[in-house]
Chain A
Amino acid sequence: MKELSPADASVLELVDRLIHKGVVLAGEATISVAGIDLIYLGLNVVLAAAETIEQKIQRKAS
């Protein structure tokens, strides 16, 4: 698995805050967030997804 660089970590921490934290105001639709669908589920999922993708690439190569 690719190691996470400090710069990657900074961006992921910020994005995680933008889409995972902050006040949630109920009763209204949250509009779709195209382009950040992969990271919408949060830091953990992004890292898991990256790992999964790498494994698939390695399996194809072998």
Chain B
Amino acid sequence: MSLIAHAIVATPPIGVSTAGLRGRALVAVDCGELGLWATELDPEVRLEREDAFAHHRVVEQVCAAQACLPVRFGTAFGSAERARLSIEERRDDLVRSLARVEGKREIAVTLLWRSLEGAGARAGPAAGLGPGARFMEERRALYAERDDRRIRAAELAERLVAELAVERELVWHEICMSRNVAVSLAALVPSERALDRKEDLAAIVARFGDVTGVVNGPWPPYSFTALGGLGPSAPG
């Protein structure tokens, strides 16, 4: 059997009243100072989209019971011993990361551009240009539009960070990851105030005229599990 890893906790793991993937019982692997919640599955089983959401539900339950570090979905171990060895290799970093997320939850903010029409599209190439000049003019307008959007997205991200008034290391963000998305931001906030902060953020993003704000969470601290130091987890 394979062990599909869900979350790392300090020992002793506090029991959770939820099943693992595909209705199977959760197992707690004792790794000394740390414990790993996992589901035993046949290694031939191919994980599906629904398993990803089931993993999220498990991590949520574990996170509600005690501080936890979510493990990236799809991580499998051939045996409990292999899991122990892998965790033991990084024990000190994992313990530090667990301390950092203790008592905190993640709130996510996504800002979507309200209009995908940019300055370049509005201006259009000047009349009377030849094909080469027209091409160059269109390229120039496109790059100008991208630059404008990046500047605006950076401004929006800075405003969100300032309004959150939390330490920089507790906020992670990216800008302009796609044509639709201006900002994707995650903040680690105290669990007991997470819903209040979510409402605060929703009110803040509602004031932005050029983007639609989507505020999600509170979630387990997925974006703040980087090992080997402070700062959020690096993108895959």
* Residues of chain A having any CB pair with chain B under 8 Å: 1, 3-4, 6, 9-10, 13-15, 17-36, 42-44, 47-48, 51
B52 lies within 8 A of A43 (CB):
no
In the complex, chain A residues whose CB is within 8 Å of the CB of B219: 14, 17
A6 lies within 8 A of B222 (CB):
no
Question: Looking at the complex, which one of A1, A6, A20 makes contact with B235 (CB distance below 8 Å)?
Answer: A20
Q: Mostly helix, strand, loop or mixed at chain B's interface?
A: mixed
Stretch in contact with the other chain, from B12-20, B85-93, B140-148, B162-170: B85-93
In the complex, chain B residues whose CB is within 8 Å of the CB of A51: 179
B110 lies within 8 A of A9 (CB):
yes
In the complex, chain A residues whose CB is within 8 Å of the CB of B46: 31-35
Instruction: List 15 extra interface pairs beyond A25-B75, A30-B72, A51-B179, CB under 8 A.
Output: A3-B116, A9-B110, A13-B184, A13-B214, A18-B53, A18-B56, A21-B235, A23-B8, A25-B86, A27-B89, A28-B78, A29-B76, A30-B76, A33-B52, A43-B178
* Residues of chain B having any CB pair with chain A under 8 Å: 2, 4-5, 8, 43, 46-49, 52-53, 55-56, 69-78, 82-83, 85-87, 89-90, 94, 97, 108, 110, 112, 116, 177-181, 184, 212, 214, 216, 219, 222-223, 225, 227, 233, 235-236
Question: Looking at the complex, which one of B47, B73, B75, B108 makes contact with A28 (CB distance below 8 Å)?
Answer: B75
Distance in angstroms from A8 CB to nearest chain B CB is: 9
B214 lies within 8 A of A10 (CB):
yes
**What residue in chain B is nearest A29 (Cβ atoms)?**
B76
Alpha-carbon gap, A8 to B214, bound state (A)? 10
Distance in angstroms from B102 CB to nearest chain A CB is: 15
